[in-house]
Amino acid sequence: MLNLAFTGFFVALLLAGLRRPFLWVLCYLYIDIVAPQIISWGFLSVIPTSLIAFVAAFGGWLALDGKEGTRFTWRQGVMLALLAYCAMTTLRADYPLPALEKWGWVWKALVFAIFLPLTLRTRLRIEAAALVMVLAASALIIDGGIKTALGGGGYGTLRIFVENNTGLYEGSILSCVAIAIIPIILWLARHSTIFPSDWRVWTFAVALIFACCLIPVGTQARTGLVCLAALCILYLRTARHRVLILAGMTLAAFAAIPFLPQSFVARMNTIENHEADQSAGTRLGVWKWTWDYARENPLGGGFEAYLSSRVEYDTVVRETTGELTTVRREHVVEKGRAYHSSYFEMLGEQGYPGLFLWLLLQASGLWQMEALRRRYRTQSAPEVAWVAPLANALQLSQVSYLVGSLFVGIAFQPFILMVIGLQCGLWSYLARVGTPQVKGDRAKPRARVERKMKVRPLT
Amino acid sequence: MVDIFALALSHGLIALAVWRLLQRPDLDREGEPPAPRRAPRGQGMRVPGLVAEPQSEEDAHTPPPGAPGA
């Protein structure tokens, strides 16, 4: 029955694309995020669903869709350069076969992120892409959220649909993505034209945000908690009623503590007391190893270069019984441990050039979204009132991801690359429709700023 | 049961979004008038002959006879 439903849904999306080819792009977003071929064990698991959706999306755009206003932004160029560089490191990788395996999904994610902005020619398309990304991720988040609320979950044990550890089905990655989409959910609830803001939309949005917050609890991934804390602090930067929101957040945090599972509290305590934690010790050890490795291999060792890592460290455990404190030191040796950080993942696998390109891609996104936010924040006309909040949401989402990236190796996470694709699409769209009315004017600085704020009507 | 609920809710909403997108001309081209919305209950009834509705876009812009510029 489930197989039939999945197959029917996929076919319906493909048929809908016959009328509006852009819907095939949304179909690919859905397939890539939910991965129904993993959940389903029937027809979809034997056909290359992802490939079909990509060919439909690309072919539809190439053959049937309009191209007016389509621009290739320089950030897409950065992604293209990163793709070419990754191809080069894959050819001379330390571990050719595992590297080829990772390359197999990285190139697809990068190519789609480069392609996505070309299709985002209208405001509605940008909104539709954001909506489908959120709704597709919501399938996993609602499932994980409800199971956590019902008492399920645990580190590496929260089962979302199936026993799987790939893509968003991995606890730490889902935890990071769930927190990163909260600003986009809020933007959609306020500014969506597909589901205009009303009590039903807000009910769903609030429930989904609550489920997002439950994911770090359910997966017991400390990354999610750190992302959430970073997001809360950053949200205050642009919030209107800062004191009220801060008070609300503090109250919610204290109110939530008694309801948190004991195992979650114990695991979160290791953030503070990291010396006793083997996972934290591994991270620090691998990061040191990667730093040394990059000095010897400045151009990177290709994908999965961490397989040659060897990490030695001591864990210190303090046990207090009455007035007596026992300090126990254990020497741990580990081999082939993953990077546990996107920054070190890039440094080890792609070397300094790859890390530079990746950082450029991320930093330019933060800068572009900040520029858009500042330029449009005073615009209240309905045609552009959505711009500054969306730029802010995409920026917060990215910052949240960058914070999570400190502790998880998700440098090429397809979902985040889609967010970058959205940023490029938004930037390109506004460069086309929101050009200042007066250019090159040498008037007084204040007058010039005011003119810069003016945008051409979208109609 | 939870799995089915999560899948049904998310997929139902995606399906509804796609259905609404199919009705929106501004998905592909901006500047076109949005699709006519269904009038709220009680306001949608029209008595034939009582209000002369424009038959075409040209009619809609044509001033009535006697008006300035007609």
What is the four-CA torsion angle of A282, A288, A291, A294, rounded to 10 degrees?
Answer: -60
Whole-model pTM: value is: 0.81
A252/A85 Cα distance (integer angstroms): 46
Residue A332 DSSP SS3: strand
CA angle A43, A44, A46 (to 5 degrees): 70
Per-residue pLDDT 10s for chain A (459 aa) are 778 888 889 999 999 999 999 999 999 999 999 888 888 767 777 788 888 999 999 999 988 888 877 888 999 999 999 999 999 999 988 888 999 999 999 999 999 999 999 999 899 999 999 999 999 999 999 998 998 888 766 666 677 777 777 778 888 889 899 999 999 999 999 999 999 999 999 999 999 999 998 888 887 777 888 888 888 888 888 777 778 888 887 877 777 776 676 666 666 666 655 555 666 777 888 888 899 999 988 998 889 888 888 877 777 777 777 777 777 777 777 777 888 899 999 999 999 999 999 999 999 999 999 999 999 888 888 888 899 999 999 999 999 999 999 988 899 999 999 999 999 999 999 988 874 443 344 334 444 444 444 445 444
CA angle A286, A288, A289 (to 5 degrees): 60
Q: How far is A441 from chain B (nearest CA, A)?
A: 29
Q: Which residues of B touch A20 (CB under 8 A)?
A: 21-22, 27-28
> Taking CB atoms and an 8 Å limit, are B20 and A194 in contact across chains?
yes
DSSP A317: E
Complex ipTM more than 0.90, yes or no: no
Q: Are A49 and A10 in contact (CB under 8 A)?
A: yes
pLDDT score, position A259: 65
Closest CA to A222 of A275, A256, A278, A264: A264
Residue B13 CA: distances (Å) to CA of A144, A195, A356, B3:
18, 10, 40, 16
pLDDT score, position A278: 64
What's the start-to-end Cα distance of chain A, in Å? 46
B14: nearest CB among A20, A136, A140? A136
Which residues, 6 or more positions from A173, have their beta carbon under 8 angstroms from its beta carbon? A167, A408, A410, A413
What's the start-to-end Cα distance of chain B, in Å? 67
> Taking CB atoms and an 8 Å limit, are B7 and A143 in contact across chains?
yes
pLDDT score, position A218: 80
For A109-173, give the DSSP string. HHHHHHHHHHH--SHHHHHHHHHHHHHHHHHHHHHHHHHHHTT---TTT--BSBS--SGGGSHHH
- Determine the residue among B1, B24, B28, B37 to mutate to test chain A binding: the one whose Cβ has the most chain A Cβ atoms within 10 Å: B28
Q: A333 pairs with which residues across the strands?
A: A312
Q: A313 pairs with which residues across the strands?
A: A332
Chain B positions touching chain A (beta carbons under 8 Å): 2-7, 9-11, 13-18, 20-22, 24, 26-31
> Taking CB atoms and an 8 Å limit, are B27 and A128 in contact across chains?
yes
Q: How far is A226 from chain B (nearest CA, A)?
A: 26
Closest CA to A405 of A194, A226, A196: A226
Pick B43 or A273 by higher pLDDT: A273
pLDDT score, position A342: 93
Q: How far is B19 from chain A (nearest CA, A)?
A: 8
A338/A165 Cα distance (integer angstroms): 15
pLDDT score, position A330: 75
Q: Which residues of A touch B25 (CB under 8 A)?
A: none
Dmax of chain B from CA atoms? 69
> Taking CB atoms and an 8 Å limit, are B30 and A194 in contact across chains?
no
At B3, list the tokens: 């799995």
Which residues, 6 or more positions from A109, have their beta carbon under 8 angstroms from its beta carbon? A32, A412, A413, A414, A417
Dmax of chain A from CA atoms? 77
